[in-house]
Structure 1
Amino acid sequence: MQKTKTLKVRVKDKHARHLNEMARSVNFVWNYINELSSRSIKERGKFLSAYDIHPYTKGAGKELGLHSHTLQCVASEYVTRRKQFKKNRLNWRKSGGVRRSLGWIPVNTGAAKWKNGQVFHNGCFFSVWDSFGLGQYKFRTASFSEDARGRWYFNVVVSVEVEQSAGTGAVGIDLGCKESATDSNGEGVEGREYRKLEAKLGIAQRARNKRRVKTIHAKIRNRRQDDLHKYSRKLVNKNAAIFVGNVSSQALTKTKMAKSVLDAGWGSLKTMLEYKCDHAGVAFEEINESYSTQTCSCCGTIPDSSPKGRTGLRIREWTCSECGAEHHRDINAAKNILAAGHRRLAVGIPVL
């Protein structure tokens, strides 16, 4: 059985100038479609589809230095985003200035190939740091994308063989701010990468050293992603079922806890676990974690001694007044999430 997977490799810096030129052309096409669609809605009351837009951009690829498939991809992406945000006109893509849009060049299936140890697209060869062995895959849809530091990456969707996980255990995961994640086995991810580099980031910002600021932000992101990838892979390899609390990071980003919540990377961890479990045949479910912190994982009661409310957030360890069991706050919550996950599997998972 095969699954799709997106591989991301860095393009060597010597191609940055050419990619920037192509990205400016993509921005021009996007803005043209944006204006065309807006006028069609205003004057004729008609929403243009990607098929309707194609005749207006046909043949422009040669003059703009773009592959014809890229023009089709831009139109398709525009229509998708317009439906998603339910707007008559989307934001313009800017090629210069302080609010410059990061470079993006979409590539359709068959428009990019692996040739002579390089990525071949639109008549040009792009050298990359190939950490995945791209030559063994058949490319599907792809894109070139730029990050905040001006570095370019090649992202390609490929088909991979599914490897069934040999794990037989089950684990519950409690997401928190003190530690990004703690599981029922007592392991987890410490997180707080932003907090660790916050002082250095503040110095760079006060000095108005934009390059240094971007570098520190990239380091924070890379460290966080690396920790979450290693932790999620470890869980998938060892377990046959993974349950995680359904805490909403989007809701908490509107509170005073926003900085800690964003630093924890809950959404990234859930996404990683979801697709890695899908590829490995591991059961993955989000469980209602209501009262998981207050409930004793040994006797199942909510004793008077358990931490409650905002005042109880500082309590990291507590003893159950009913059975006398000693608990670590996050590990106890993870065990309750695991127990709730087992009960849900016992009665079956309803189809939504």
Structure 2
Amino acid sequence: MITAYQYRLRLAKSQEAEIEIWLDMLRCQYNYLLADRFNWYEQNRCSINSCPLVCHLPTLRDNPDYFSQKKTLPQLKKDRQWYKAIHSNVLQDCVKRVDLAFKRYLKGDCNGRKSGRPRFKSKNSYRSLTFSAFSKNPIKGNKLNLPKFGWVKMVYHRPIPDGFKIKTATVTRKADGYYVTLSLQDDTIPSVIPVEQASNPIGIDMGLKSFLVKSDGTEIPIPQYYRKAQKRLKKIQKTVSRSKKGSNNRKKAVGRLGKAHKKVADTRKDFHFKTAKNLLDNHDLVAHEKLNIKGLAKTKMAKSVLDAGWGQFLSILSNKAENAGLVTVAVNPRNTSQNCSNCGKKVPKKLKDRIHSCPDCGYTEDRDTNAAINILKLAVGHPVGNKAYRVSEALAGVGKKPTLNL
């Protein structure tokens, strides 16, 4: 199991200056390696499907991949002596980033989704570096030993449990200072319980009226952190737009704007963590919809959808459940709001209709609660139209499937 702990760094001014020098050198090396990839790509491809019989063919060279570009690092240190100050693993991580960005551009990720053309990094866009080699005891008190950089102070608010091994440490420059993210490995993973043995399952329906509604009828209100901070953000943004480009006043205003946005993001993330913990403390199976968040973010509800942060919350929920040996199940949201959770009949409703009332069985319930019950039924293996699986059984969380009365 791989998990990550983040701590804030308390760097001295000399250490901050050294980090900035390292980031600038890594940015230059990233841009150089990316340009080398682009040069090979342009020289070894043809934009048309046929060529004349007599034409000039450039001298082809091997494809610059991760291993070939990594072999150029020793020569880089000989030609440019100042690169010797950077640890070799940090330079190798820079090569790895170039390789990953170019592969996603040409081949796509594991799901086949391709990214756009990689961009050259500006001074403010290359903000992190990764260490991957540590001594046996890299942490002493509130200090962390970074290879070839030295000891740095950090706010050690969360002790690392015994048995965890530090794999990597990523130092990131953010709007309000520097942070280090420790990637930890723990081999003591609890076994995940089977879905059939879940004793206290729950279904949740994500929404914009409430953040989520549980299948037992309880709901969690939506905080809307961004909308509450809009007035303050608008005022700071106006100061930035009225400042002269390149001036010190503009840099200060940009810094204030970044801190304001980071505060909104941090409070939203804290809310997501606390909500996920509350769900997993009380339930061993959480069923939710498999939402198309990217599609919803292109509609008129984009600001509200992004302010809710459903994607971040569901990612946190699944990761925390896996670490605790619990289960999260994503189900198809098709007709979960339309079908009756008591008899299974489809009852068409518009978005403004917030009460579900079935004309066949007379079951009446809140629209979101009805959808959450349907989500739970789908997660535990019962179709929505199964008449033998009633609401009381869904709320009771019975693990075994009931016999069907055909």
With normalisation by structure 2, the TM-score equals: 0.75
Query: Letter of the aligned partner of 1:284 in structure 2?
Result: T
Deviations 1:101-149 (A, max 9, x none): 14111222437962433111223111111122248543102211122x1
Which of 334, 339, 349 is the equivalent residue of 1:307?
A: 349
Per mean C-alpha deviation after superposition, the further-off stretch among 190-199 and 81-90 is: 81-90
In the other structure, the counterpart of 1:94 is: 122
Which of 107, 120, 130 is the equivalent residue of 1:106?
A: 130
The correspondence of residues 195-206 of structure 1 with structure 2, limited to 5 A, is 195-206=227-238
In the other structure, the counterpart of 2:4 is: 6
Which of 205, 213, 219 is the equivalent residue of 1:187?
A: 219
Shift of 1:283: 2.0
In the other structure, the counterpart of 1:120 is: 145
In the other structure, the counterpart of 1:159 is: 185
Please state if 1:140 is matched with 2:167: yes
Shift of 1:235: 1.6
Paired with 2:344 and 2:363, the residues of 1 have a C-alpha distance of 11
Shift of 1:164: 6.5
- Check conservation: 2:11, 2:152, Cα contact below 8 A: no
Paired with 2:160 and 2:255, the residues of 1 have a C-alpha distance of 31
Percent sequence identity over aligned pairs: 22
Which of 74, 82, 86 is the equivalent residue of 1:66?
A: 86
Question: Unaligned 5+ residue runs, structure 1?
Answer: 348-352
SS at match of 2:183: strand
- Check conservation: 2:289, 2:330, Cα contact below 8 A: yes
- Check conservation: 2:176, 2:259, Cα contact below 8 A: no
Shift of 1:153: 1.1
Paired with 2:221 and 2:285, the residues of 1 have a C-alpha distance of 19
Question: Unaligned 5+ residue runs, structure 2?
Answer: 44-59, 107-114, 241-252, 383-398, 402-406
Which of 296, 299, 313 is the equivalent residue of 2:340?
A: 296
Shift of 1:39: 2.5
Deviations 1:196-231 (A, max 9, x none): 222222222223343433232112111111111111
* Distance change in 2, residues 1:189/1:24 (3 Å): farther
* Distance change in 2, residues 1:135/1:24 (3 Å): farther
Q: What CA RMSD, in Å, does the superposition of the two structures yield over aligned residues?
A: 2.7
Paired with 1:20 and 1:34, the residues of 2 have a C-alpha distance of 21
SS at match of 1:207: helix
Shift of 1:238: 2.1
Please state if 1:280 is matched with 2:324: yes
* Distance change in 2, residues 1:32/1:74 (3 Å): same
Paired with 2:223 and 2:61, the residues of 1 have a C-alpha distance of 50
- Check conservation: 1:54, 1:75, Cα contact below 8 A: yes
In the other structure, the counterpart of 1:78 is: 98
Per mean C-alpha deviation after superposition, the further-off stretch among 126-135 and 244-253 is: 126-135
In the other structure, the counterpart of 1:54 is: 70
Shift of 1:192: 1.8
* Distance change in 2, residues 1:302/1:106 (3 Å): same
Deviations 1:66-123 (A, max 9, x none): 101111111112111211122896211111xxxx214111222437962433111223
Paired with 2:16 and 2:221, the residues of 1 have a C-alpha distance of 36
Deviations 1:272-293 (A, max 9, x none): 1221121122122210111111
Which of 261, 281, 285 is the equivalent residue of 1:217?
A: 261
Query: Letter of the aligned partner of 1:144 in structure 2?
Result: V
In the other structure, the counterpart of 1:350 is: none
SS at match of 1:94: coil
- Check conservation: 1:177, 1:264, Cα contact below 8 A: yes
Paired with 1:202 and 1:230, the residues of 2 have a C-alpha distance of 29
Query: Letter of the aligned partner of 1:126 in structure 2?
Result: V
- Check conservation: 2:192, 2:322, Cα contact below 8 A: no
In the other structure, the counterpart of 2:52 is: none
The correspondence of residues 305-344 of structure 1 with structure 2, limited to 5 A, is 307-308=349-350, 313-343=351-381
* Distance change in 2, residues 1:329/1:47 (3 Å): farther
- Check conservation: 1:297, 1:335, Cα contact below 8 A: yes
Paired with 2:233 and 2:181, the residues of 1 have a C-alpha distance of 29
Query: Letter of the aligned partner of 1:292 in structure 2?
Result: T
